[in-house]
Amino acid sequence: MFDKLGAVVKRFEELTEKLADPTIYDRQKEYREISSERSSIEDVVVAYKNYEKIKADLSQAQEILKTENDPDLREMAKEEVSEIESMIPGLEEELKILLLPKDPLDSKNVMMEIRAGAGGDEASIFVGDVYRMYTNYFRDIGFSSELISLSEGDEGIKEVIFSVKGEKVYSKMKYESGVHRVQRVPKTESQGRVHTSTITVAVMPEVDEVDFDLNMNEVRIDVYRSGGAGGQSVNTTDSAVRVTHLPTGIWVANQDQKSQIKNKEKALRILKNRIFDKLVSEQRAKEAADRKGQVGTGDRSERIRTYNFPQGRLTDHRIGLTLYSLDKIIEGAMGDVTDSLIAHYQAELLKGQEE
């Protein structure tokens, strides 16, 4: 482990030296790549330097015990040795986790899509509940979200698409992809029976030109008149836009704005992320047979979680997590859920390296 740590520190110093070159800003692609790599290993370097300092403090305290005759100094040194020795196993475990193979997408912002599944109006209502849960959570941890597209149903929301920005967003949110099941008594249920409905959540790493450059020659753009409930909500111009990626057949329609240009920009942004997400998912599917510690980050059809309102229970089926604090979670207190998923994934990776 310490050989690896030494190599990481050396690489960090090399990257820092490259960033000190003022001409690097003239080569923006290289600058972004170096900055990204340096940022990805900075936590390891900081933790290792802290570990080395604490080990040095331990050596100093042990030396005092060997050479010092003053009883008060010896007692202080003895306490310091005991305290530091109790800290070291935890610090070494932290270093092991920091050295685990990194998902290269972890540092990215994300685009999320939530759609109603089985259950009619109740599913659409739950889309709105989960969207609010996520936005409250983002606010509490310092992430920012931007609504990109929203399609309302008779009750609730049929589909909502939004982007999330912050520090290592994908690393926290990637385990949310899949089918979320809700069990509760709908407002329209007169006999108090519990209904089961589902929604799907997709979490896609936000793509940029370095990752994927969309060839516009492979994109067909169609414009048409927006539809709506009637009256003033129906545009009289062809402002709605549908963009289709011909090689994959992936398409996006957008009519949120009265401006055709703005609808086109939004549709292309969503399209790029869906194509990139498809490429990433296909690559990971090929690697899945050899990967240990997979927690189901890619299968959109996988039922990952149940929200049972009569029991106040949330269950994540992938890791056997059950929490009886659904009232707080649905209002955005998701930390225990996301932290448990990350810890489980890290434990599986550690186990895989030890086997």
Tokens encoding 231? 């009256």
| Residues 200 and 178: beta-carbon distance below 8 Å | yes
Q: In the listed set 98, 123, 156, which residue is the last one of a domain according to the structure? A: 98
* Statement to judge: residues 89 and 138 lie in one domain: no
In tens, the pLDDT along 129-152 reads 999 999 999 999 999 999 988 888
Please check the confidence at residue 269 and state whether its pLDDT lies above 50.
yes
Please check the confidence at residue 296 and state whether its pLDDT lies above 60.
no
CATH number at residue 173: 3.30.70.1660
Does 183 reside within a domain?
Answer: yes
Q: How far, in Å, CA of 87 to CA of 89, rounded?
A: 6
Higher pLDDT: 283 or 21? It is 21
Does 59 reside within a domain?
Answer: yes
| Residues 212 and 232: beta-carbon distance below 8 Å | no
* Statement to judge: residues 68 and 181 lie in one domain: no
* Statement to judge: residues 244 and 114 lie in one domain: yes
CATH number at residue 18: 1.20.58
* Statement to judge: residues 140 and 209 lie in one domain: yes
Does 231 reside within a domain?
Answer: yes
Does 355 reside within a domain?
Answer: no
* Statement to judge: residues 297 and 150 lie in one domain: yes
Does 228 reside within a domain?
Answer: yes
* Statement to judge: residues 164 and 40 lie in one domain: no
Strands 313-316 and 195-205, sheet pairing: unpaired
* Statement to judge: residues 15 and 120 lie in one domain: no
* Statement to judge: residues 157 and 292 lie in one domain: yes
How large is the average pLDDT for residues 319-329?
Answer: 95
* Statement to judge: residues 321 and 190 lie in one domain: yes
Q: In the listed set 74, 98, 122, which residue is the last one of a domain according to the structure? A: 98
Look at residue 287 in the predicted model and tell me its pLDDT: 56
**pTM of structure:** 0.71
* Statement to judge: residues 191 and 80 lie in one domain: no
Quote the DSSP letter at residue 26.
G
Q: How many domains does the chain have?
A: 2
Confidence band for 227, pLDDT divided at 50, 70 and 90: low
In tens, the pLDDT along 157-183 reads 999 999 999 988 999 999 999 999 999
Check the CA dihedral 117-120-122-124 and report its sign: positive
Most confident region among 102-106, 175-179, 274-278 by mean pLDDT:
175-179
Q: Say what the alpha-carbon torsion angle 209, 215, 219, 225 is, to the nearest 10 degrees.
A: 40
Cα–Cα nearest to 175, from 128, 106, 127, 124: 106
Does 139 reside within a domain?
Answer: yes
Q: How far is CA 88 from CA 76, 81, 354, in A?
A: 19, 11, 20
- Residue-by-residue DSSP string for 278-344: HHHHHHHHHHGGG-SS----S-TT-EEEEEETTTTEEEETTTTEEES-HHHHTTT--HHHHHHHHHH
* Statement to judge: residues 295 and 175 lie in one domain: yes
Q: Say what the alpha-carbon torsion angle 120, 123, 128, 131 is, to the nearest 10 degrees.
A: -140
Look at residue 292 in the predicted model and tell me its pLDDT: 42
* Statement to judge: residues 89 and 117 lie in one domain: no
Does 221 reside within a domain?
Answer: yes
Does 104 reside within a domain?
Answer: no
In tens, the pLDDT along 10-49 reads 888 889 888 888 888 888 888 888 888 888 888 888 888 9
Residue 170: which domain range? 110-348
Look at residue 226 in the predicted model and tell me its pLDDT: 67
Q: In the listed set 64, 98, 132, which residue is the last one of a domain according to the structure? A: 98
